[in-house]
Amino acid sequence: MARETPRLMAEHRNAPTAGEQPAAGQPRLLIVEDELMVAWGLVDTVHELGWKVCATVRTQDAAIEAASQLKPDAILMDYRLGDGGDGLAAARRIREATDIPIIFCTAYVAGLRPEVVSVARAQLISKPVRSSSLQQALAWATDLAKPTAKPGQGEPPSR
């Protein structure tokens, strides 16, 4: 079985060229999707929502490797992946090493909700993906990345 390497941003339309850094403060997303046309659509939607795609990969092993190497701000992960891979298994392996927020994107929402809840810092959206659903999920991921207030700071006074 041939190893898949993450496809870097330079392959995406409107992406920075090799060696160029994304705009300061612009969050980076790893897309894990085995259907090419779906992945392309997601890339376009993500760009419209102000995020940069650091890579798109299609298999479980490539997802784990890309998350480790690229350290994105969030991951958009399909449940069923290429080569018989499992997005949930990939998420659990990624979770062992990092706390990157993971957004599951699947047509199998009803049956997966309990499984997704078992993965910390994960959320579930349905396919076909609506821009508004993806925007809400990405906002959730961004909020998770914000530093939390220290006790006594940013909290309302207790009564």
Residue 148's pLDDT is what? 57
| pLDDT averaged per 10 residues in sequence order, the chain, 159 residues | 44 38 76 96 97 97 97 95 91 95 87 78 92 96 72 38
d(CA 61, CA 59): 6
Task: Tell whether domain 7-11+25-138 is in CATH 3.40.50.2300.
Answer: yes
How far is residue 143's CA from residue 125's CA, in Å, rounded to a whole number? 17
pLDDT recorded at residue 24:
59
- What is the predicted pLDDT for the residue at 138? 97
Residue 77 confidence (pLDDT): 96
Q: How far apart are CA 55 and CA 67, in angstroms?
A: 9
Q: Is the peptide bond before 128 cis (omega within 30 degrees of 0)?
A: yes
DSSP letters along 125-149, please?
A: EESSPPHHHHHHHHHHHHHHHSPPP
The pLDDT of residue 73 = 96
Longest dimension (CA), the chain: 63
Specify the pLDDT at position 144. 85
